[in-house]
């Protein structure tokens, strides 16, 4: 039996590509100077617009997808007997997964036979997108929902997400790192190299003095221990693609990966990182810890 695949705009996937592959993307709202802006559909807020306004002093934050949105979407498929698989933004970074669970329970009260499966990706940005793309490939190859869930159970713990940010104040404002750590790092020109741990939370793994050394560590960590069976790497950036393009060119020359993808960070994550972020996503041989 087929099923409808759903994710959220935090996954940073192209909407045209999503339409071509029957993927529904729900908008994670961004609040920009007090105005709620959607991140999918006509008139969607773009990263370029967001970052330009932030550079000019605009205040930006993110909000969860409302329970009612999930309820409406799940109900739409329940009414016609279509199973649903929703791949959610990490519960370690947002309450969205919990909100989706509340909405599912409400829909099941009215449609007890509905099958609505929610998966916490424990990932963000193109890490979440990496997993969604893999599910699309499996789905189009004719794999069942049970087979795909088994594959996700095996892949999610091995997903590696490494990144650096140019300005730590955005992460501090969002509570992702302490304000003290942000101040010290900025003053000393120290660039923390961060990852997403096994619980889907951000953590600082190591520190480098200066952007060049930080990027070198970022790349080394991403290449080390990657699973050649999933020889894909996604390099994401906010604002300027120069560093990301350079990383991609170097990896292509080294023939380290069969598929190298460079794409911008979407507005949801860019709110919390600002301009100058580099993030790299791969699948490792072993589970992250």
- pLDDT one-digit tens code per residue, 48-94: 999 999 999 999 999 999 999 999 999 999 999 999 999 999 999 99
Residue given tokens 């509340």 in the structure block:
102
Alpha-carbon span 25 to 141, nearest angstrom:
21
**Which domain-ending residue is among 128, 157, 186?**
157
Give one DSSP letter per residue of 12-54, joined into a string: ---HHHHHHTTEEEE---EEETTEEE-SSSTTPPPHHHHHHHH
- Residue with the bigger pLDDT between 235 and 208: it is 235
Burial class (CB in 10 A: 0-12, 13-18, 19+), 56: exposed
The answer to whether residue 92 is domain-embedded is yes
Number of domains in the chain: 2
| 201 class by beta-carbon count within 10 Å (0-12 exposed, 13-18 middle, 19+ buried) | middle
Of 137, 157, 177, the residue that ends a domain is 157
- Which tens digit of pLDDT belongs to each residue from 182-205? 555 555 677 888 999 999 998 888
7 falls within a domain: yes
Q: How confident is the model at residue 4 (pLDDT cuts 50, 70, 90)?
A: very high
Task: Examine the domain organization and report whether 92 and 193 are in the same domain.
Answer: no
Same domain, 94 and 41: yes
CA 250 to each of CA 215, 240, 245: distance values in angstroms, whole numbers, following the listed order: 12, 17, 9
Choose one of 138, 157, 176: the last residue of a domain. 157
Query: How far is it, in rounded angstroms, from Cα 138 to Cα 118?
Result: 17
- 15-24, 124-133, 199-208, 230-239, range with the lowest pLDDT: 199-208
CATH number of 124's domain:
3.40.50.10170
pTM of the model: 0.93
Structure tokens at 79: 């009414």
User: How far, in Å, CA of 131 to CA of 88, rounded?
Assistant: 10
Please indicate, yes or no, if residue 43 is contained in any of the structural domains: yes
CA distances 147 to 58, 118, 153, 176, Å, are 45, 15, 10, 35
């Amino acid at each position: 039996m087929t099923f409808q695949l759903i994710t959220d705009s935090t996954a940073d996937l192209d909407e045209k590509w999503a339409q071509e592959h029957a993927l529904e993307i729900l908008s994670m709202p961004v609040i920009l100077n007090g105005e709620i802006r959607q991140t999918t559909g006509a008139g969607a807020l773009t990263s370029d617009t967001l970052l330009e306004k932030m550079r000019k002093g605009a205040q930006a934050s993110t909000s969860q997808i409302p329970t009612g949105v999930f309820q409406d979407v799940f109900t739409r498929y329940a009414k016609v007997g279509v199973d649903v698989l929703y791949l959610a933004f990490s519960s370690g970074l947002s309450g969205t997964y919990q909100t989706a669970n509340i909405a599912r329970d409400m829909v099941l009260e009215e449609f007890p036979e509905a099958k609505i499966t929610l998966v916490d990706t424990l990932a963000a940005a193109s890490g979440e997108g990496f997993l969604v793309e893999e599910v699309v490939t499996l789905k189009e190859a004719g794999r069942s929902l049970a087979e795909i869930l088994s594959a996700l159970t095996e892949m999610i713990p091995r997903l590696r997400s490494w990144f650096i940010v140019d300005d730590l104040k955005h992460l501090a404002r969002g509570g992702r790192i302490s304000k003290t750590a942000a101040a010290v790092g900025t003053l000393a020109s120290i660039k923390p190299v961060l990852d997403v741990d096994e619980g889907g939370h951000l953590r600082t793994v190591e520190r480098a003095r200066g952007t060049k050394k930080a990027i070198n560590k970022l790349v080394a960590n991403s290449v080390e221990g990657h699973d050649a069976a999933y020889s894909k790497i996604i390099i994401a950036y906010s604002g300027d693609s120069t560093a990301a393009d350079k990383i991609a060119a170097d990896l292509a020359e080294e023939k380290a990966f069969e598929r190298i993808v460079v794409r911008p960070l979407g507005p949801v994550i860019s709110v919390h990182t600002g301009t100058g972020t580099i993030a790299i996503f791969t699948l490792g041989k072993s589970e992250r810890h």
